Structure 1
Amino acid sequence: MAPQPISFPGFTPISDRVYLRNGHEKSKPAPANEPTTIIISGWGDGMPKHVSKYSDGYHELYPSARIIVILSRTFQATNQPEEARIQAMMPVVDTVFPTPAGSGNDKERVIVHAMSNTGAIFTAATIIAYQRRHGTDKPFPHHLLVLDSTPGSLDFRSQATRWSRAMAVGTAKFFPWPFVITHGLWYIFLWANYLWQILRGGVASGVWADRIINDKACVATDSSRVYLYSKEDEIIGYKDLEANVAHAKTLGYSVDLEMFEGSSHVGHMRLHPEQYWNKISGSWKQAIAEK
Structure 2
Amino acid sequence: MSALPGFTPISDRIFLRDGAPGPVAEPPSDSAADHPTTIIIFGWGDGLPKHVSKYADGYHKLYPKARVLMVISSIFAAIYDSLEQRTKSMIPIIDTVFPVAADDARERVLLHTMSNTGGIYAAAALNAFKQRHGEDKALPHFLSVSDSTPGGLEFSTEVGRWSRAMALGTAKWFPWPFAVTQGLWWAFLHTVNLIETAVGREPSGKYSCRVFLENSMATPRAPRLYMYSKADDLIGWEDVEAHAAVAQSRGYTTVLERFDNSPHVGHMRMHPERYWNAIERCWKASMALEAKS
Give the TM-score range, shorter chain.
over 0.9
Asked if the contact 1:162/1:234 (under 8 Å) is kept, the reply is: yes
Q: Aligned-pair distance for 1:250? A: 1.1
**Could you tell me how far apart the structure 1 residues matched to 2:133 and 2:65 are?**
26
Compare 114-123 and 233-242 and name the one that shifted more: 233-242
Deviation at residue 83 of structure 1 after TM alignment: 0.4
Letter in 2 for 1:143: F
Assess if the C-alpha contact under 8 Å between 1:114 and 1:123 holds in 2: yes
Return the TM-score normalized by structure 2.
0.93
- 2:79 is aligned to 78
The alignment-based identity, stated in percent, is 51
Alignment correspondent of 1:203 = 202
1:59 equivalent in structure 2:
60
Give the Å deviation of 1:207.
0.8
- Tell me the alpha carbon deviations over residues 177-201 of structure 1, each in whole angstroms, 9 at most, x when there is no partner: 3322221221121121012012122
Structure-2 residue corresponding to 1:130: 129
> Aligned partners of 2:81, 2:256: CA distance in 1, in Å?
31
Q: What are the within-5 Å matches in structure 2 for residues 84-233 of structure 1?
A: 84-98=85-99, 99-102=101-104, 106-233=105-232
In structure 2, what is the equivalent of residue 21 of structure 1? 17
- Paired amino acid for 1:251: R
Partner SS, residue 244 of structure 1: helix
SS of the aligned residue for 1:262 comes to coil
Deviations for 1:7-33, whole angstroms, at most 9, x for unmatched residues? 111001111111111159x87726221
Unaligned runs of 5+ in 2: none
Q: Which moved more, 1:148-157 or 1:57-66?
A: 148-157
Instruction: Supply the distance in 1 between the matched residues of 2:242 and 2:260 (Cα, whole angstroms).
Output: 19
> Residues of 2 paired with 1:280 and 1:70: CA distance?
19
CA distance in 1 between partners of 2:141 and 2:134 (Å): 16
CA distance in 2, matches of 1:168, 1:58: 30
Distance 2:84 2:41 in 1: 21
Contact persistence 1:23–1:59 (CA under 8 A): no
> Which segments of 5 or more consecutive residues in structure 1 lack a partner in the other structure?
none
Contact preservation (8 Å) 2:45, 2:169: no
Please tell me the residue identity of whatever aligns with 2:91: M
Q: Partners in 1 of 2:155 and 2:106 — Cα distance? A: 38
User: AA paired with 1:44?
Assistant: G
Rounded to whole Å, the distance in 2 between the matches of 1:147 and 1:222 is 16
Q: How well do the aligned residues superpose, as a CA RMSD in angstroms?
A: 1.6
3-state SS, counterpart of residue 9 of structure 1? coil
Residue identity matched to 1:100: A
Please, which moves more after superposition, 248-257 or 123-132? 248-257
Q: What SS does the corresponding residue of 1:160 show, helix, strand or coil?
A: helix
Q: Does the residue aligned with 1:172 lie in a helix, a strand or coil? A: helix
Aligned to 1:250: 249
Corresponding position of 1:6: 2
8 Å Cα contact 1:93-1:130 kept in structure 2: yes
**Contact between 1:156 and 1:204, CA under 8 Å: does it hold in 2?**
no
Structure 1 stretches of 4+ with a deviation exceeding 3 A read none
Q: Distance between the aligned counterparts of 2:247 and 2:270, measured in 1?
A: 27
Amino acid at match of 1:76: A
Aligned to 1:147, what secondary structure does the other structure show? strand
Offset at 1:77? 0.6
Query: Structure 1 residues 130 and 27, CA, compared in 2 at 3 Å: closer, same or farther?
Result: closer
SS of structure 2 residue aligned to 1:32: helix
Give the counterpart letter for 2:8 in structure 1: T
Rounded to whole Å, the distance in 1 between the matches of 2:181 and 2:125 is 31
Q: Distance in 2 between matches of 1:23 and 1:174?
A: 35
